Structure 1
Amino acid sequence: MQVVLFEDVKALGKKGDVVKVNDGYARNFIFPKKLGVEATPQNLAKLKQQKAYEAKVAAEQLAAAKDLANVIAAKTVTLKVKVGEGGRLFGAISSKEIAQAAKEQCDLELDKKKIVLPEPIKTLGTHEVPVKLHKDVTAALKVVVAEA
């Protein structure tokens, strides 16, 4: 029996796959748990339509992320902090502070989880901070750390 999967099924297939399974397995496991339906022409047409819609939405999200990346690349965020001897900061600058400063200075709504800092910023100067907007799009935000 051919079955269209609604969810990922371990050792069988991923969501949207059309797989061949035994009749008993389909009737006793897949159908009762609503993991899939029989691959009739109507269900295959629905699957094709759903995949086309998902591809369209993914393309729109990618385009929006690229536009936002261009906006972010043109912006500069300035943070003023207290500095000790030798240009060392008191504390460090985290992604939360960068997101807050971007919102205040540039009206950019950035999620602190999307700002990729391998380690907090601890020195004065200009830093390029990567912002992961989409799985394929990463923008570079310029962060200037200055003495208060």
Structure 2
Amino acid sequence: MEVILKEDVPNLGHKNDIVTVRPGYGRNYLIPKGIAILATESAKKVLAENKKQQAHKEEKIRNEALELAKKLEGTKVTIGAKTSSTGKIFGSVNNIQIAEALTEKGFSVERKNISIVDDSVKEVGNYKAEIKLHKDVKVEIDFEVVSE
């Protein structure tokens, strides 16, 4: 019996895969739970069309991420922080402050997609941050922490 999976199933397949299962497993478990649908000819045609549209959308999103990566590549951000006389920062610089500095420069990047390459930024100086724009597209930017 062939079924089309609606979600990922461990040791069986991923979403939108057509898999062959035992008739009892498909009829009594997968289909009633809504995990799969019967792989009829019409369902296969719908699946093919959905995959085609999804691939088109994914390609568009990826191209937008590549364009933003090219714009971000040479960008250097300056972040001001309160410091002691020895150059140590009170607290630390995190991805929220980097996202705010990028927003001021005109780039819209979510803070959860920013990771600081070094463990923590606790002193004045130059550092690097990695921004994940897409699952295939990552860009590194330089940022400088200065005393306010």
Verify same fold: TM over 0.5: yes
Q: Which runs of 4+ in 1 moved over 3 A?
A: none
Q: Report the residue type matching 1:140 in the other structure.
A: E
Which residue matches 1:24? 24
Which residue matches 2:129? 129
Which residue matches 1:36? 36
Which residue matches 1:145? 145
Aligned residues: 147
- 1:115 shift after superposition: 0.8
Q: Report the residue type matching 2:115 in the other structure.
A: V
Distance in structure 2 (CA, Å) of the matches to 1:123 and 1:73: 24
1:23-58 residue CA offsets vs partner (Å, 9 max, x unmatched)? 222221122112222222111111111111111111
Q: Equivalences for 1:9-88 in 2 at 5 Å?
A: 9-88=9-88
- 1:66 shift after superposition: 0.8
Task: Mark the runs of 5 or more structure 1 residues left unpaired by the alignment.
Answer: none
- 1:10 shift after superposition: 2.7
Normalization by structure 1: what TM-score?
0.88
Contact 1:128 1:141 in 2 (8 A): yes
Q: Report the residue type matching 2:90 in the other structure.
A: F
Residue identity (%): 32
Question: How well do the aligned residues superpose, as a CA RMSD in angstroms?
Answer: 1.7
Task: Mark the runs of 5 or more structure 2 residues left unpaired by the alignment.
Answer: none
